[in-house]
Structure 1
């Protein structure tokens, strides 16, 4: 198993790195060049930089991921593709994407985009809380212990 992180806007990278490396599972952070850093990563963590295009990180993750890998993303489209590939997919707010919930999530995203195109305002995501962070930690630890 490897852990792939759609890392550009991921607020739980510290948890993923800490818990993943404790279990000796390779962690791969996929991020755009606009987030480039010279900082050294700890052992067991690799950063892959991609172009700043809208789906560049998603494409790279899907190229590298294999059945049984774990992917952390807030992107419903990437989650859908990863589920079809046999990966476990987590959202940073602490829920697991499943074949049962992905269609509803994609439909909601589509309807929101359609409303915005017609000039309507839609609500953004709720703020990320410490409770979300702990919920993610719990679900992540369970996922990597399987």
Structure 2
């Protein structure tokens, strides 16, 4: 069992929660990004830098993860690929994706893409706050408890 992080867009406070959880539980944590990140020294935490490019980090995660692993991502198509491969996915806001929620989120994402391509300004989600950080920490703890972390 391992945790993979789509680290390019993962908020720093969520990374801090992950660093503490990896050390506390001895769970392997790998951050994947196309730019250099600093990670705390730990035998449980590592960083993989991938070249810049569309979905390069996503592809690296899907290629390296195995069934049962957890991926932290806000990228809906990546979460869908993780689920298809038998993995688990949680957003940095604490939403645990499953077959039902991923279908709904993909549909909403496609609808928003259509609106944006037609010129409608849709804006993005608000920055995560303390409630989202707590929701994430709770979702991570539930996953670690269920999967032996």
TM superposition score normalised by structure 1: 0.94
In the alignment, is the contact (CA less than 8 A) between 2:39 and 2:47 conserved in 1?
no
In the alignment, is the contact (CA less than 8 A) between 1:92 and 1:133 conserved in 2?
yes
Query: Within 2, Cα distance between the matches of 1:39 and 1:96?
Result: 25
Q: Which residue of 1 aligns with 2:70?
A: 70
SS of structure 2 residue aligned to 1:29? strand
Q: Which residue of 2 aligns with 1:108?
A: 108
Q: Which residue of 1 aligns with 2:140?
A: 140
Paired residues, number: 144
SS of structure 2 residue aligned to 1:10? coil
What's the CA shift for 1:67?
A: 0.5
SS of structure 2 residue aligned to 1:101? helix
Query: Within 2, Cα distance between the matches of 1:58 and 1:38?
Result: 19
**1:27-50 Cα deviation digits (max 9, x unpaired):** 000011xx2146663221110001
In the alignment, is the contact (CA less than 8 A) between 2:37 and 2:47 conserved in 1?
no
In the alignment, is the contact (CA less than 8 A) between 2:39 and 2:45 conserved in 1?
no
Q: Which residue of 1 aligns with 2:81?
A: 81
Q: Which residue of 2 aligns with 1:30?
A: 32
What's the CA shift for 1:144?
A: 1.1
Query: Within 2, Cα distance between the matches of 1:23 and 1:52?
Result: 32
Question: What runs of 5+ residues in structure 1 fail to find an aligned partner?
Answer: none
Question: What runs of 5+ residues in structure 2 fail to find an aligned partner?
Answer: none
What's the CA shift for 1:95?
A: 1.0
In the alignment, is the contact (CA less than 8 A) between 2:82 and 2:88 conserved in 1?
yes
In the alignment, is the contact (CA less than 8 A) between 1:3 and 1:70 conserved in 2?
yes
TM superposition score normalised by structure 2: 0.92
Instruction: Calculate the aligned-residue CA RMSD, in Å.
Output: 1.3
